[in-house]
Amino acid sequence: MTTVDLLDVPAAARWIAARGPERIIAELTDALATDFRRWPELDKRPRVASHSAEGVIELMPTSDGVTYGFKYVNGHPVNPLRGFQTVTAFGVLADVHNGYPTFLAEMTLLTALRTAATSALAARALARPDSRTLALIGTGTQAEFQALGMRSALGITHVRAWDVDPAAREKLVRNARSLGFEVHEATSGADAVRGADVVTTCTADKRNATVLTADMLADAAPGVHVNAIGGDCPGKTELEASILAAPGTAVVVEYEPQTRIEGEIQQLPPDSEITELWQILTGDAPGRTSPDQVTVFDSVGFAVEDWTALRYVHAAMLADPAARGLLQQVDLIAEPTDPKDLWSLVSAEVLQPLV
């Protein structure tokens, strides 16, 4: 019998707490860097999305010809008002040579870790190395992970936090202080951005919003890096278009065909000059070219990041005997003795009643 390793939510939470979220984000950042540098070898496509009035459900697949992976994920901004999570997800790895699944994992927690690691990777490539202050506009489920990612990548020590929801803002302030950050509870988005070296926008509304303007950004530190991660579907943006179009601003994305549909660059002409992150990591394109240059990472989340996260987590847990014990084995693969006789698995059951 061939079984599939299963990582459920309680086991994932225990493993993350034991290994340490910041350590995981740092290790995952390095794993992402390795996979982004072999970007041309990977099977890539925009995610498959099913939109509704309430939100979106998406499938995100990729492969390197040896290991296939996909993530199922939803995004429903109205969910918290109904007692549900905005985002939930699970992911699967499979062997390409026979198509058998090998790993099934929750990916709500893992998505937060991989999003923070992707932000950290981009910041490592684009932000000023002396950056110490992070502004967070949007302090929901991603916020603590984003702060840890920026600390692991840049040594961020100060967080300036703003959210239109006071409860979310207070939650982030409480948690960030417990994690060792100096925290300023901002009175507005403009107040949060003032003096910041890095600005992360992560809001949930599914609309063309403007939570960061060029005037706000003018009060940030010179050479600010903008980490725009909230825009992730058609018609959903966070940045004023003039930020992206400003002369000298470097705009970097994960996978341009997907980001043209879903990201901040929806607002730009189709022929606007855009760089993909892998090109900077391989040296095929420049990153930051001066200390005062404004850089923007327009991140919508891409399947390669989830595939990397699944592979990293599975390998890390298998290499640690204590962590391996958290994995369950589930029988998902129908394997009759004769591969052509699938009926043999049910024929005995057909002859015997359940009770």
Tokens 């599975």 sit at which residue?
314
**By percentage, how much of the chain surpasses pLDDT 70?**
96
Q: Of the given ranges (41-45, 52-56, 219-223, 240-244), which has the lowest mean pLDDT?
A: 52-56
30 is catalytic: no
**In one letter, which amino acid is 229?**
I
For the chain, give the mean pLDDT.
Answer: 94
Interval 212-241: pLDDT, tens: 999 999 999 999 999 999 877 788 899 999
Q: How confident is the model at residue 54 (pLDDT cuts 50, 70, 90)?
A: confident
- The whole-number average pLDDT for the span 249-254 is 97
**Measured between alpha carbons, how far is 140 from 229 in angstroms, rounded to an integer?**
12
Q: Which pLDDT score, from 0 to 100, does residue 231 have?
A: 76
Interval 306-353: pLDDT, tens: 999 999 999 999 999 999 999 999 999 999 999 999 998 888 665 666
Domain 128-302, CATH homologous superfamily name and number: NAD(P)-binding Rossmann-like Domain (3.40.50.720)
Q: Which pLDDT score, from 0 to 100, does residue 17 have?
A: 97
Token pair of 202, please? 């992560």
**Exposed, middle or buried by CB within 10 Å (0-12, 13-18, 19+), for 341?**
exposed
- The whole-number average pLDDT for the span 72-100 is 93
- From the list 294, 281, 195, the residue with the least C-alpha distance to 243 is 294
Question: What number of CA atoms fall less than 13 Å from residue 178's CA on the CB side?
Answer: 7
This prediction has a pTM of 0.94
**pLDDT reading at 77 higher than 90:** no
Token pair of 201, please? 């926008």
CATH of domain 4-109+305-340: 3.30.1780.10
Give residue limits of the domains in the chain. Answer: 4-109+305-340, 128-302
Interval 259-304: pLDDT, tens: 999 999 999 999 998 999 999 999 999 999 999 999 999 999 999 9
**pLDDT reading at 201 higher than 90:** yes
Q: How confident is the model at residue 150 (pLDDT cuts 50, 70, 90)?
A: very high
Helix (H) or strand (E) holding 7: strand 4-7
Radius of gyration of the CA atoms of the chain, in A: 21
Q: Residue 315: CB partners within 8 Å, gap ≥ 6?
A: none
**Measured between alpha carbons, how far is 281 from 267 in angstroms, rounded to an integer?**
26
- From the list 46, 47, 89, 41, the residue with the least C-alpha distance to 63 is 41
| 275-276 vs 250-253, strand pairing mode | parallel
**Measured between alpha carbons, how far is 90 from 84 in angstroms, rounded to an integer?**
16
- The pairs formed by 57-63 with CB atoms below 8 angstroms and a separation of 24 or more are 60/301, 60/302, 60/303, 60/306, 61/303, 62/303, 62/304, 62/306, 62/307, 63/96, 63/307
The full length of the chain comes to 355
| 208-212 vs 56-63, strand pairing mode | unpaired
**Measured between alpha carbons, how far is 206 from 344 in angstroms, rounded to an integer?**
49
- The whole-number average pLDDT for the span 109-129 is 98
Q: Which pLDDT score, from 0 to 100, does residue 112 have?
A: 96
Among 5, 232, 298, 306, the active-site one is: 232
